[in-house]
Amino acid sequence: MLAAVIQLCSQDDVSKNLARVVVLIGEAARAGAQLIALPENFAYMGDETGKRAIAEKVDGHGVILSAVMGAAREHGVYVVAGGMPETSEDPERPYNSSVLVDPRGAVVAVYRKLHLFDVDLADGTSLRESDATTAGFDKVVAVVHGATTRAGARVDVPIGMSVCYDVRFPELYRSLERRGARIVTVPAAFTVTTGKDHWHVLLRARAIENQVFVLAPGQQGKHPLGRQTYGKSLIIDPWGDVLAQCGDGEGFAVARLDLQYQDRVRAALPCLAHRRLSTPP
């Protein structure tokens, strides 16, 4: 299976952001990608009032998700709609949701970000995601159909979903692996301060610990309200090697996910079978 991670520099104009998203999905699809992952906040990076105003249900009738569904259907690809505001029971605090859309343009799965980013960083940045976001509760493993073995057989591939700050909590990824995940997605908008020191290390660790492929599309650049994101969107293999990485600016990176190689890694180093401490399912 060929997979792509899209890197964006989203602003506070939803229409312009979505237009760019649609273009890049098309470019990644033409490059052969069957599974395309968008970063967190792909449709909007701005103040919380604006985020509340654009929050929508994940029924396909909203502006954001309908654009993604249309692009997935047009190009016949799976799209992980990285992180978008989904309405919750609290109108002041929507979910931060990652949505998997299939090649027919249908919603396959929804993951609502579990861990919220409430920090005061050394560079003076103060972020309180919980003030305007409701935490989720789902541990979602969805299935992507249509990966092909070297013998030509079609196989289904379970994908574990997460968002950004979740990557600092390894127990979530262990739970996803125990549910069968062979790929995990980590759409993000990492700050420069945390990204330069922790982005590669955390993502490679999650790949190595669970012997999974990691797709980590990110935001990169300057956004409203003085926010600046790190980028370096990555695709990592189950040995922890970086298969592809975006540079600065918007664009995408593509890599082949070799499931038979993953099987060989798990057979040669069967650490998943050597666990002695249990993790809740």
Boundaries of every domain in the chain:
2-274
What pTM value is reported for the model?
A: 0.93
| 72 and 252 Cβ atoms separated by less than 8 Å | no
Q: How far apart are CA 267 and CA 192, in angstroms?
A: 37
Q: How far is CA 136 from CA 16, 133, 224, 274, in A?
A: 28, 9, 26, 31
Fold of 2-274: Nitrilase/N-carbamoyl-D-aminoacid amidohydrolase (3.60.110)
pLDDT at 41 over 80: yes
Helix axes 170-178, 192-210, angle to 10 degrees: 30
The pLDDT tens digits of the residues spanning 112-139 come to: 999 888 777 677 667 788 888 899 876 6
Q: How far apart are CA 161 and CA 112, in angstroms?
A: 9
Q: What pLDDT score was predicted for residue 40?
A: 97
**Residue 40 catalytic?**
yes
The pLDDT tens digits of the residues spanning 52-100 come to: 999 999 998 999 999 999 999 999 999 999 999 999 999 999 999 999 9
pLDDT at 270 over 90: yes
Q: What pLDDT score was predicted for residue 154?
A: 67
| 226 and 214 Cβ atoms separated by less than 8 Å | no
The CA radius of gyration of the chain, in Å to the nearest whole number, is 17
Percentage above 70 pLDDT, the chain? 94
Q: How far apart are CA 101 and CA 80, in angstroms?
A: 6
51, 164, 177, 246: which is the annotated catalytic residue?
164
40, 56, 129, 177: which is the annotated catalytic residue?
40
Q: How far apart are CA 50 and CA 32, in angstroms?
A: 35
- From the CB of residue 193, how many other CB atoms can be counted at a distance below 10 Å? 16
51, 113, 139, 232: which is the annotated catalytic residue?
113
